Structure 1
Amino acid sequence: MRPHTYPTAGGTVITHDQGAHLTEWRLGDTPVIWVSSESEYAEGQPIRGGVPVCWPWFGPGRPGDLTPAHGFARVAPWRLVQEDSDGSALRLAWELTHADVQGLPGTEHFVHDFTARLHVTVEEAASVALTVRNDGSEPFDYEAALHTYLQVGDIRQVEIAGLDGCDYFDKVLRADATQEGPVVFGGETDRVYASSGTVQVHDPVLRRTLMIEKSGSPNTVVWNPWADKARAMPDFADHEWQQMVCVEAATVGGHAVALEPGQEQTLSTTVRVITANGS
């Protein structure tokens, strides 16, 4: 896969057309959007890191057995239809239609006519927005997530604020729970929160806070594989779990989107960096 590299305000962005994938975003030499050193960048294989587009299902889908995991959109060949870069601001857009994905694994589970657009805008902040339109004559529904991987200094010292009091499903324990206080990490974490609000990832090691703002997102997913699961994944270096956390804008499970013919819906996330001095 050929990467696209762009200069932006104070940093660099790398993208790939497969999956309409924002793969990396750096401010100076410091990553904001994390990507694994073990990612293969192979055609038809997902990139481990960046902001994968999970669509039209999340994980194994609501039936629990759909493949590929997280849907076909993240490995599909999207078409780059907008590319505006002036060295400071970057605006990109990709498009994917029903005709583009014919024959791809998993498309037999979603046979509807659709147009999906993925917009990426990077200036001082990075925004990713997925818009899906129903181009057919029958209603359909789907799940979606913008699976944002964030770089952190040490996950064991990170706190996530903004989810206190929110109900969530713990996918590790297979149990419902309610968040009390900030989210902290002491082991494998995989939670789907009922939360549409902004969250803050406080990182004392990198001396910054990452502000995650969302729209069209009734769920917030928080994930870190921890040591054992990281070692079991071939596209994840053994130590890398310490420097990443996923905070995802999502609309999944009981919050799946239902679209009538001609309707469209947008899911978006924006990542802002606030340094220790408040800038």
Structure 2
Amino acid sequence: MTIASSVTVNESQGITFLDIDNPLASGRISLFGGHVLSYIPKHDGKERLWLSPHAFLNGERPIRGGIPVCWPWFSDDHGKEKGELPSHGFLRSQVWQLKSSEDTDDGTRVVLTPSFTRGDGFEYDCKVSLIVVFGKCLSVSLETRNTGIVPFTFNQALHSYFAVPDINKVSLEGVTGKYKDKLQNWAVLDTPSPYTFSGETDRIHVEPINTITLNSEKRPVTEVQSQGHDSVVIWNPWRGAATMSDMDAFGYTHMLCVETACTKGVTIEPGNSHTMTQTVIGLPH
């Protein structure tokens, strides 16, 4: 297989990384987890994704930060007791394969596939592909194709961690409707306006919101567009970060998760496929 000239393959601590550098952007992918770790558009040179400085980058556990792939369930919604199966599914803790890479007018296009898609909690025949394009924007698509003879239902998320200068000065635009609040026993509440942050946040917005803008000090810095989803998850652990071995106590001040997700169940008939896409647009600031 010929690797695109904009892609460099590097290895460290047993993990293979793809480093991307083209005229439009630079970035990094870990084959462990099929995990996008970095996206820096060339127009302003600012990192749009947040990666914990204490993230495990040796394959021992899922990586904290970037864009983890959650599949075939979100959180612990796998139908068994909590802890019996891995949170967010089993794709983010396996090694993926590079299937293709190419340089196009839109940037560098990389296609990855996981080592396996059948596992405890999901015994169906399917093919999963992650298609990532590093260009003026970052496009990440998760495609699931039913290659079996029976329909199946699954959930998923692109659990994106976005870099922010100060969470206390961040606001979101474009988020409307109802959300389910995990911290209030899944109470269904109205989206706040203005949408700002002053404590731990763990919310599933139950509408397929297509465009969300992250503002810092009322200035737009990153736009998140979503397609093929049914929910958007907003998460920040706040001071709970101090209890996490792969985050420092104040890491929460520099990140916000805005996750493109399917949490209501996607059913795919045999021979059909479903694609969920998140597009990250770095706005000049």
TM-score by length of 1: 0.89
1:58 correspondence with 2:69: no
Total equivalences in the alignment:
265
Q: 2:40 aligns with which of 26, 29, 35?
A: 26
Distance in 2 between residues matched to 1:158 and 1:34, nearest whole Å: 15
Distance in 2 between residues matched to 1:200 and 1:230, nearest whole Å: 24
Distance in 1 between residues matched to 2:147 and 2:128, nearest whole Å: 10
- Evaluate the alpha carbon distance shift between residue 87 and residue 218 of structure 1 in structure 2; reply closer, same or farther with a 3 A threshold: closer
3-state SS in 2 of match to 1:3 = strand
Report the Cα offset of residue 56 of structure 1: 0.2
Q: 1:263 aligns with which of 251, 272, 282?
A: 272
State the superposition RMSD in angstroms: 1.9
Report the Cα offset of residue 208 of structure 1: 3.9
Equivalent position amino acid for 1:60 in 2: D
Report the Cα offset of residue 10 of structure 1: 4.9
Counterpart contact for 2:25–2:136, Cα < 8 Å: no
1:189 correspondence with 2:201: yes
Distance in 2 between residues matched to 1:11 and 1:133, nearest whole Å: 30
Distance in 2 between residues matched to 1:246 and 1:261, nearest whole Å: 33
Distance in 2 between residues matched to 1:135 and 1:88, nearest whole Å: 30
Report the Cα offset of residue 135 of structure 1: 1.0
Task: Return the structure number with greater helix share.
Answer: 1
1:199 correspondence with 2:212: yes
Distance in 1 between residues matched to 2:107 and 2:208, nearest whole Å: 27
Distance in 2 between residues matched to 1:226 and 1:136, nearest whole Å: 43
- Evaluate the alpha carbon distance shift between residue 87 and residue 258 of structure 1 in structure 2; reply closer, same or farther with a 3 A threshold: closer
Q: 1:91 aligns with which of 109, 128, 152?
A: 109
Distance in 2 between residues matched to 1:160 and 1:202, nearest whole Å: 6
- Evaluate the alpha carbon distance shift between residue 39 and residue 87 of structure 1 in structure 2; reply closer, same or farther with a 3 A threshold: farther
Counterpart contact for 2:117–2:127, Cα < 8 Å: no
- Evaluate the alpha carbon distance shift between residue 86 and residue 257 of structure 1 in structure 2; reply closer, same or farther with a 3 A threshold: closer
Q: Which runs of 5+ in 1 are unaligned?
A: none
1:73 correspondence with 2:91: yes
Distance in 2 between residues matched to 1:16 and 1:48, nearest whole Å: 12
Q: Which runs of 5+ in 2 are unaligned?
A: 1-14
Distance in 1 between residues matched to 2:109 and 2:163, nearest whole Å: 22
Counterpart contact for 2:33–2:96, Cα < 8 Å: yes
Distance in 2 between residues matched to 1:96 and 1:87, nearest whole Å: 27
Query: More displaced, 52-61 or 195-204?
Result: 195-204
Report the Cα offset of residue 12 of structure 1: 2.0
- Evaluate the alpha carbon distance shift between residue 204 and residue 11 of structure 1 in structure 2; reply closer, same or farther with a 3 A threshold: farther
Counterpart contact for 2:78–2:121, Cα < 8 Å: no
Equivalent position amino acid for 2:284 in 1: T
Distance in 2 between residues matched to 1:231 and 1:108, nearest whole Å: 32
- 1:131 maps to 143
- 2:180 maps to 169
Superposed CA deviations along residues 132-179 of structure 1, whole A, max 9, x for unmatched, are: 011111111100000111000101110001113x11000111211111
Distance in 2 between residues matched to 1:101 and 1:86, nearest whole Å: 29
Distance in 1 between residues matched to 2:109 and 2:69, nearest whole Å: 17
Superposed CA deviations along residues 116-142 of structure 1, whole A, max 9, x for unmatched, are: 000001111001000001111111110
1:151 correspondence with 2:151: no
Distance in 2 between residues matched to 1:88 and 1:13, nearest whole Å: 15
Equivalent position amino acid for 1:243 in 2: H
Report the Cα offset of residue 2 of structure 1: 2.3
